[in-house]
Amino acid sequence: MAISDATYKEEYKRYWLVLVGLLLLTALTLIQPTMFMENATFAVQMLIGVVKAWLILMYYMHLKGEKEIIMFTYFSMFIVLTFFVIVIGIDVANFQYGDLSHIISGDEAAAASQTHGAAHAEPAHH
């Protein structure tokens, strides 16, 4: 037996508390698109997801008590992924071949070339 009765009781309560928290957040997820902040649904949903993930990582996966290295690993991963998101985001936002592209429909092409500005309205012909 690795843990005492007192620790067991404390941890047991914590598991259920976190579950209640996660259930509440899930309820929030389900009602949000029709109840509040409907025009920012994606951002709110992802935010709720991040909060849930944090609870799970810290308490269910005991990350709170682990040495720094594990924490460092996960945060460096977020930095790496963020960079990928940022750089690909820069690439996508500045896409300059919208009117030549088969996979972007009419309005999306217009939106893409608008972001890029008038200077590249005429794509180069090879």
Residues of the shown chain interacting with other proteins in the complex, contacts defined by CB under 8 A: 1-3, 5, 8, 11-12, 15-16, 19, 22-23, 26, 29-30, 32-34, 38, 41-42, 45-46, 48-49, 52-53, 56-57, 60-61, 66-67, 69-70, 73-74, 77, 80-81, 83-85, 87-88, 90-97, 102-105, 108, 116
- The half-sphere exposure of 15 on its side-chain side, counting CA atoms within 13 A, is 8
Smallest separation, CB 114 to other proteins (Å)? 14
Q: Cα separation of 57 and 116, whole Å?
A: 40
Q: Which is nearer to other proteins, 93 or 121 (CB)?
A: 93
Q: Cα separation of 68 and 63, whole Å?
A: 9
The closest of 119, 102, 118, 99 to 110, measured between CA atoms, is: 99
Smallest separation, CB 65 to other proteins (Å)? 11
Quick one: CA dihedral 104, 106, 108, 111, positive or negative?
positive
Q: Cα separation of 100 and 111, whole Å?
A: 13
The amino acid present at 35, given as its one-letter code, is: M
Q: Which is nearer to other proteins, 81 or 121 (CB)?
A: 81
Q: Which is nearer to other proteins, 41 or 114 (CB)?
A: 41
Smallest separation, CB 121 to other proteins (Å)? 14
